[in-house]
């Protein structure tokens, strides 16, 4: 694992792109790099805009080369002006080129090494299935795939979880869920802190990303003091 001092925002964004998708021999996206067996499709186009540096563009395997070249030319105009605060202003241009309405954009973060929380979490393994209750019953079949998985337990029941929803040897991407009655208590941040420590112990970097419309998730990142290294746009 690289040390924090080695990690430019461009390096982090490349790690982010690597962990999100699977790739063919040409470096074209194939599927979402989900750890469970039924992986979803990759988007037609992915762009990662680091805080400093040029955008990183990825294309699905079925995007024609001519279209990929046009998207690259458009992306070269998206040079970052610093910390992101909103979706790229030219989102409509990418959607027009791809003839696609579906899109998603949001900021990307690194969980810092010194991030801790006042509330303790535990590593959630299949042996802890009785703690899932009805609220997290859906998580039981995934526990073998989404390790490390961290949880905050209250009154014998899992209240919040943070699990690895994308995995490579170099980095893991966080997925956080908190039951409605337990929101606003710092449980999401506590689960994130426990998960991040487990990921670093395994020799990988803990990454966290969200969408601009997910205000609760962005609030977790802000309150936790996560390190923003850029933003992303996915189309199709």
pLDDT tens string for the chain (236 positions)? 444 456 899 999 999 999 999 999 999 999 999 999 889 999 999 999 999 888 999 999 999 999 999 999 999 886 666 788 888 888 999 999 999 999 999 999 999 999 999 999 999 999 999 999 999 999 999 999 999 999 999 999 999 999 999 999 999 999 999 999 999 999 999 999 999 999 999 999 999 999 999 998 999 899 889 999 999 999 99
Task: Give the global pTM.
Answer: 0.92
Handedness of CA 19, 20, 25, 26 (dihedral sign): negative
Residue 45 carries which DSSP code? E
Report whether 45 contacts 28 (CB < 8 A).
no
Residue 132 carries which DSSP code? S
Q: What is the dihedral of CA 156, 118, 123, 158, to 10 degrees?
A: 30
Residue 80: what pLDDT? 63
Name the phi and psi angles at 169, rounded to 5: -65, -25
Q: Closest Cα to residue 115, out of 175, 197, 208, 210?
A: 197
Take residue 154 and report the two structure tokens written for it: 């209250």
In CATH, what number does 122-226 get? Answer: 3.40.630.30
Tokens 């009785």 sit at which residue? Answer: 130
- β-bridge pairing 45-50 and 56-59: antiparallel
| Residue count of the chain | 236
Residue 81: what pLDDT? 62
Report whether 152 contacts 187 (CB < 8 A).
yes
CA 100 to chain centre: 22
Q: What is the dihedral of CA 122, 123, 124, 126, to 10 degrees?
A: -130
CA 32 to chain centre: 11
Tokens 């309405």 sit at which residue? Answer: 101
Take residue 172 and report the two structure tokens written for it: 């893991």
Report whether 126 contacts 142 (CB < 8 A).
no
Q: Who contacts 21 (Cβ-Cβ below 8 Å, separation ≥6)?
A: 29, 30, 31, 32, 33, 42, 46, 58
**Where in the sequence of the chain do the CATH 3.40.630.30 domains occur?**
122-226
Alpha-carbon distance of 91 to 56, in angstroms, equals: 15
């Amino acid at each position: 694992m690289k040390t924090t001092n080695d990690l430019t925002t461009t390096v982090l964004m490349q790690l982010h792109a690597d962990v999100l998708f699977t790739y063919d021999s040409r470096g074209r996206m194939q599927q979402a790099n989900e750890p469970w067996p039924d992986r979803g499709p990759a988007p037609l186009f992915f762009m990662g805009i680091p805080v400093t540096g040029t955008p990183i563009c990825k294309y699905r395997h079925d995007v024609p080369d001519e279209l990929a070249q046009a998207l690259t030319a458009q992306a070269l105009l998206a040079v970052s002006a610093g910390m992101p605060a909103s979706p790229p202003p030219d989102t409509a241009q990418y959607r027009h080129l791809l003839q696609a309405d579906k899109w998603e954009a949001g900021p990307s973060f690194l969980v810092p090494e010194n991030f801790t929380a006042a509330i303790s979490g535990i590593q959630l393994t299949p042996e802890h299935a009785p703690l899932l209750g009805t609220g997290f019953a859906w998580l039981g079949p995934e526990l073998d795939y989404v390790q490390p998985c961290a949880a905050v337990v209250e009154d014998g029941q899992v209240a919040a979880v943070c699990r690895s929803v994308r995995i490579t040897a170099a980095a893991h991407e966080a997925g956080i869920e908190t039951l409605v009655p337990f929101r606003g208590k710092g449980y999401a941040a506590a689960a994130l802190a426990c998960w991040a420590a487990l990921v670093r112990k395994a020799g990988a970097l803990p990454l966290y990303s969200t969408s601009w419309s997910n205000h609760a998730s962005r609030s977790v990142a802000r309150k936790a003091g996560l390190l923003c290294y850029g933003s992303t746009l996915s189309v199709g």
